[in-house]
Structure 1
Amino acid sequence: MFLLLFLVLLASPAYAAKVLIIGDTQFALVSDVVSEIQLGLRTQGKEYATSEIKGRLGAVVEREAAQIVVALGMDALSEAMRLPPSVAVVYGLVVVPPKSGRANITGVYMSPPVSEYVAAIRKYLPSIARVSVVGSPNLVKGLLTSEAAHIDTYHVTSSAELVSTVNRLQGARSLLLLPDTSLLTAQVMANIYLFSFRNNIPLLGISEANVKQGSLFALVFDPKTVSRQIAEKVQAILSGSEAAEISSSPPRRYNLYVNSNTARKMGIAIPDEMLKKAKKVYQ
């Protein structure tokens, strides 16, 4: 009897988990997000580094009898996209919603919709009035909502086209480059900052690093908020909802970073309310 019980336990998945959380956990940001997701779940998820499951995620899912894979980052998401459609995928820590025909998928993307920048300008800096948005067609489509009355949109498909397009915008009131890493190289950004200061056109950043470099302000995703949203989506699927019925979404909250030195050089008055709202103000 003891031997039979031992063989049954040996054949069963060890610490089987309904939820697998995959990501580059050697990085502090990813590790913190994983911890926050775990806190938000009513069932314990099992964590794997992306390098551990590369090329064999399907086998791990089968062994664990997992129902949901949380994929944090593009490498993890690429692995998860190969899973059979019966396995739900919830993504996070990706810039924009992935292009996919996969039905059983939802998640939280990091980049703010253009409407968030327009709302911030209308609230704090109404004199700027309009935003010139430059980006690849896919990002424009994914991040542009209903603020057409306050923006001018320019589609580009290469770094060279991006730079040449921006150089024709000397009359713009402000400039927002959508976050396409294949276009926004270090050399491109150096050229854009030079254009911004020469023409007194504020650049709106997409990261804290951008603000340190000279962007007027940036809206940056809040990791704890994103983690909670991911956990909510996972919990909804565990409770019976289909991933396809749960819309992918941007973060509910952003951290504001402001460069008051850039504002001063461009003659832009930053109201106290905006400075108080900022998580950090670079002088």
Structure 2
Amino acid sequence: MKKIIASLTLVTMLLASGCGAKSENEVQKVPTSDEKARIGIVQTMNHPSLDEIREYTIIGLEELGMKDKVDVIYKDAQGDSANINTIINQYVGENIDMIIPIATTAAQSAAAATNDIPIVFAAVSYPVKAGLVTDMNVTDKNITGVSNAIAIEDIFELSQKLTPNVKTYGFIYNLGEVNAVAGIDRAKAYCDEKGYKYVEATITNSSELLQATQSLVGKVDAIFTPNDNTVASAMSLLSSEAIKAGIPVYVGADSMVKDGGFATVGIDYKVLGRQVAAMAKRILEGETIKDNPVEIINQYSNMININTAKALGINIDEETLKDFQIIE
């Protein structure tokens, strides 16, 4: 692909109502040398984790020398699936050069809307189960990206190290989020193998989170919630209620620890954003989607909220804390 000369700008646009027709260009779109390559980012909702992915995708592009080579357009669907479809259709109608959907729902919408425009998704935990690719190593359509599949088994092992008296876990998740359901399936398999009990509390929207949390009080020794956008959007509510009940909450992402979750072996979304940027750059500069199979985030971090630990009365020795990123 010819190198493209332009300037990197973040253009935050208001949602419009029109829908565009599908592009008929080839997957490997080649702007002329005096054109800007336009990248359209669509985010399912405003949330610290998703915001950080977007911000560090853009920062990553700058760090990789793309500052004067692309324009980035960003639109937030505000948690509305109809808005996601509208945004994607606008991008397709505008014949944009690349779409970067953040989170599973946005990626599924992008995949359904175009077979031509290159799609590089961010933060899709289980892209095979989401129907985006048939295999992590086979990207024979117009979509690839970076998965934020978390090390769920490692989180449970961490929980047994920090809170060894936990015998029953509570699972809170949104039944409508493919990534969350897949994560809980792995958690159940781990608990079944190790002989731990678990109690489920499912939700369909964030307004149900308080009741779901309260339903677990007195029944569980700890709570686990995976990468779940619905839970994450109201994580501070879950955290405060769990702290009142003296229950540690293990989570799947750094932002959820920042919002009061106890600990995780989780995802640093700065790393994920930069990884997405590197893949986008390669494809914009000539590599094909087929050349770039789905990647999994390449770095995890042990994280603990020390204020939550104190509120729960959990004492962590200094030697153990050396292995953690401390969040206050």
Range class of TM-score, shorter chain: 0.5 to 0.7
SS of residue paired to 1:50: strand
- On the 8 A contact 1:20/1:70 being kept in 2, the answer is no
Aligned residue type for 1:91: F
Match of 1:268 in 2: 314
1:172 matched to 2:191? The reply is: no
Aligned residue type for 2:315: A
SS of residue paired to 2:322: helix
Gaps of 5+ in 2: 1-30, 44-50, 76-85, 134-140
SS of residue paired to 1:229: helix
Match of 1:194 in 2: 241
Work out the CA distance in 1 between the residues paired with 2:161 and 2:65. 36
Identity of aligned residues (%): 15
| Residue 216 of structure 1, CA deviation | 1.8
| Residue 90 of structure 1, CA deviation | 0.9
1:21 matched to 2:39? The reply is: yes
Tell me how large the CA RMSD over aligned residues is.
4.5
Structure 1 length-normalised TM:
0.66
Work out the CA distance in 2 between the residues paired with 1:45 and 1:106. 22
Match of 1:30 in 2: 54
* Residue number among 268, 290, 298 corresponding to 1:242 in the alignment: 290
- On the 8 A contact 2:173/2:181 being kept in 1, the answer is no
Aligned residue type for 2:300: Y
Query: CA distance change for structure 1 residues 104 and 168 in 2, over 3 Å: closer, same or farther?
Result: same
Gaps of 5+ in 1: 1-11
Match of 1:217 in 2: 263
- On the 8 A contact 1:33/1:223 being kept in 2, the answer is no
| Residue 118 of structure 1, CA deviation | 1.6
| Residue 161 of structure 1, CA deviation | 7.7
- On the 8 A contact 1:21/1:72 being kept in 2, the answer is no
* Mean CA deviation greater in 170-179 or 265-274: 265-274
1:278 matched to 2:301? The reply is: no
| Residue 99 of structure 1, CA deviation | 3.7
Match of 2:152 in 1: 114
Match of 1:7 in 2: none
Higher-Rg member (1/2): 1
Structure 2 length-normalised TM:
0.59
Match of 2:18 in 1: none
Q: Deviations over 1:219-238 (max 9, x none)?
A: 55324421343245443795
Work out the CA distance in 1 between the residues paired with 2:125 and 2:260. 22
- On the 8 A contact 2:151/2:266 being kept in 1, the answer is no
- On the 8 A contact 1:132/1:154 being kept in 2, the answer is yes
1 or 2, which has the higher helix percentage? Answer: 1
